[in-house]
Amino acid sequence: MITKRIWRIFLITLIIALPVRLYQTLCLLEPETGFYSDGFVSTGIVFIALMAGCVLLYADAARGKAPVPVLPLRSKPAAVTAAIAGLLFIGQSAYSLIAAPSVENGVMNGILAAADLLAGAALLCQAYGHAAGKNLWERHPLPALLPPLWGCVCLVAMFITYSGSVNIAENVYDTFSVVFLLLAFFAYAKLHAGMETERSARGIVRFGLMAVLFAAVTVIPELLLLLTGVTPATSYPVGMYLMNGAAALFLLFFLLALHRAEPAPAPREEPEDAQEPVSEEPSASPAEPDETEAFAGKLQEAYGAEETFLQKEKSPFPKNNSENDG
């Protein structure tokens, strides 16, 4: 259902941006300062590729028929990745409260931990729905808003954390990653709740692929830095990188299932020039002038009468209408 052109735009953008991002992180990063040795050249290439890809994805998703599927979508890969994402969300919630806080502000850390927990529970429910082939949000849509709510809380926490950070490029990567996850989860919730299905289907395609792009250029380089023993240049917690990566994988597998899904039947539209229903009220039978004139002629010959016969009409008095209709 998703056009090949959209997949091509996504793959071309990923092929351009990810290798440059990996080279930037592994070869140009100065661990002492956290900046890149080439200035903003590689950063500019990555941003231009990502922004151009996002603009093309947004515009191309508006073309053609909206990919509205027959829900629910049964997909084992989507179910597995949603379950992993849900467990990571719950685990990060507990870790931030017990071990290392995600945000230095204690109140904000508690709010973010609660949002992580609720979003993780919602993702586990979504995992069950995709495994069993059930749409749990059709009758109870409010829990589907918990992952978008997590995105809103996470953005506030990032603003508090990054206000004292100097590495602007890394902050922008992380911020866009959470923004597109938020928008994709919101479109997912609306689609499964049956609200604005065409607009929601276009939104999940647009923002879902954008979220995957930004998750790829943030999560993969940071995990490689950890494996090589280099301290990441960002203050974003490692556990939240894992959360973002798992959530993006879930969206990717959901979009693959959406691509293979049976399209929902288009609603039948009434023609504008449809004729109004014809009234079934019985019409008065036309007078038969031949019989009445013949009868009047016989009366005139026999009795010299000059009577005339008129067509029967309704009485002006309502109580007599029943008799007249009879």
| Residue ranges covered by each domain of the chain | 4-260, 292-320
Query: Tens of pLDDT along the chain (326 residues)?
Result: 788 999 999 999 999 999 999 998 888 877 767 677 877 888 889 999 999 999 999 999 888 787 788 888 899 999 999 999 999 999 999 999 998 888 888 889 899 999 999 999 999 999 999 999 999 998 889 999 999 999 999 999 888 877 666 567 778 888 999 999 999 999 999 999 989 889 999 999 999 999 999 999 999 998 888 888 777 667 778 889 999 999 999 999 999 999 888 887 766 555 555 455 554 555 444 445 556 667 667 767 666 666 666 666 666 655 555 555 54
Residue 55's pLDDT is 95
CA distance 284 to 174: 80
Residue 287's pLDDT is 46
Beta strands in the chain (DSSP E): none
CA distance 221 to 296: 109
Phi, psi of 39 (to 5 degrees): 75, -125
Q: 3-class DSSP state for residue 195? A: coil
Residue 316's pLDDT is 60
Whether residue 313 contacts residue 283, with contact meaning beta carbons closer than 8 Å, is answered with: no
Q: Which two tokens stand for residue 177?
A: 């990653």
Residue 146's pLDDT is 95
- Return left, alpha or beta for 231; rule: phi > 0 is left, psi -120 to 50 is alpha, else beta: beta
- Return left, alpha or beta for 4; rule: phi > 0 is left, psi -120 to 50 is alpha, else beta: alpha
Taking the CA atoms of residue 248, residue 249, residue 252 and residue 254 in that order, the dihedral angle to the nearest 10 degrees is -110
CA distance 42 to 28: 9
CA distance 113 to 101: 9
**Of 70, 58, 53, 64, whose CA–CA distance to 203 is shortest?**
58
* pTM for this predicted structure: 0.78
